[in-house]
């Protein structure tokens, strides 16, 4: 059935998600993605169709993985400490943050995924949507290198 792949699609998507967590969509080039995933350009386009296709795959992977995992930690936290738990694991939520602030407005499909991710977090916070917002805001602060002074 043809020459076998030398890359794992899941690993490639995960590597792309890691890259997209640190830079904007337009700030991340296909060359960057080729280098960090190790997937050849042709194979990348064959598999994901476009840079945007890979971005969407990576975002979905991020939500189904990192975001869902953090949501689990939040749900398991004793009441009143959920936000702290979110922050502790929240270092892995950078991609969602970037997708929400930078890409959602320009891409409806991204906006839909962001909305889904926020649903997941809201559920974990028992529908306390302010808690989700607070967690995201604190995440921004930590990213901007201005963490809380406790």
Partner DNA sequence: CTGGTTTAAGAACGTTCGTTCCTATACCGT
Partner DNA sequence: ACGGTATAGGAACGAACGTTCTTAAACCAG
Report in angstroms how near the CB of residue 9 gets to its own copies at its nearest: 27
Q: Which is nearer to its own copies, 7 or 77 (CB)?
A: 77
Instruction: Tell me if residue 12 falls in helix, strand or coil.
Output: helix
Q: What is the length of the chain? A: 150
Report in angstroms how near the CB of residue 40 gets to DNA at its nearest: 5
Q: Which is nearer to DNA, 50 or 126 (CB)?
A: 50
Scan residues 9-68 and list those touching its own copies (CB under 8 A). 22-27
Q: Pick the closest to residue 96 from 108, 82, 113, 84 (CA basis).
A: 113
Q: Pick the closest to residue 148 from 99, 101, 90, 62 (CA basis).
A: 90
- Show the CA angle centred on residue 59, arms to residues 116 and 135, nearest 5°: 60
The tokens describing 6, both together, are 């030398």
11 binds DNA (CB under 7 A): no
Distance from C-alpha of 149 to C-alpha of 28, rounded to nearest angstrom: 33
Distance from C-alpha of 10 to C-alpha of 14, rounded to nearest angstrom: 6
Instruction: Tell me if residue 38 falls in helix, strand or coil.
Output: coil
Q: Quickly count: other Cβ atoms within 10 Å of residue 67's Cβ.
A: 24
Interface residue with DNA, options 14, 18, 36, 51 (CB under 7 A)? 51
Q: Return the range that interacts with DNA (CB under 7 A); candidates 38-46, 96-104, 106-114, 142-150.
A: 38-46
From the list DNA, its own copies, none, partner contacted by residue 50 (C-beta under 5 to 8 A by kind): DNA
137 binds its own copies (CB under 8 A): yes
Binding region for its own copies (CB under 8 A): 22-27, 97-98, 100-102, 104-106, 111, 114-115, 118, 129-130, 132-138, 140-141, 143-146, 148-149
Binding region for DNA (CB under 7 A): 1-7, 26, 28-32, 39-43, 45-47, 50-52
């Amino acid at each position: 059935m043809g020459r076998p792949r030398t890359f794992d699609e899941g690993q490639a998507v995960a590597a792309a998600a890691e890259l997209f967590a640190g830079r904007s969509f337009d700030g991340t080039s296909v060359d960057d993605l080729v280098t960090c995933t190790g997937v050849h350009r042709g194979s990348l386009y064959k598999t994901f169709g476009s840079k945007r296709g890979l971005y969407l795959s990576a975002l979905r992977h991020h939500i189904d993985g990192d975001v869902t995992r953090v949501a689990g930690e939040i749900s398991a936290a004793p009441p009143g400490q959920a936000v702290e738990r979110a922050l502790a694991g929240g270092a892995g939520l950078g991609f969602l943050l970037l997708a929400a602030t930078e890409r959602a407005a320009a891409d409806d499909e991204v906006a839909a995924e962001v909305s889904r991710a926020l649903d997941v977090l809201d559920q974990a916070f028992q529908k306390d949507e302010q808690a989700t917002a607070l967690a995201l805001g604190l995440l921004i602060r930590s990213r901007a290198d201005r963490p809380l002074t406790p």
